[in-house]
Structure 1
């Protein structure tokens, strides 16, 4: 799962993440999906 997330974020959004960060992100999503979505929304709506 971490590898897929890593590739998706790097390819689609240009986020330069390593696989360790992607794995931590998977853990965050699984433990608190609502907080994850709120943080991603903040990240992508920055001006």
Structure 2
């Protein structure tokens, strides 16, 4: 059962980071911002 500990910790950490990022970015979709930046780079 010890092998499950690191995995659970990694998942929990990832969830916390995702929650912080989501709260920082706000309600707007992340993929929309990324696609917009990609569009700007491709437009050069």
Higher RCO structure, 1 or 2 (CA under 8 Å, sep 6+): 1
Computing the radius of gyration from Cα coordinates, the structure with the larger value is 2
Is the TM value for this pair above 0.5? no
TM-score range, shorter chain: 0.3 to 0.5
Q: Output the TM-score relative to the length of structure 1.
A: 0.36
Q: Output the TM-score relative to the length of structure 2.
A: 0.38
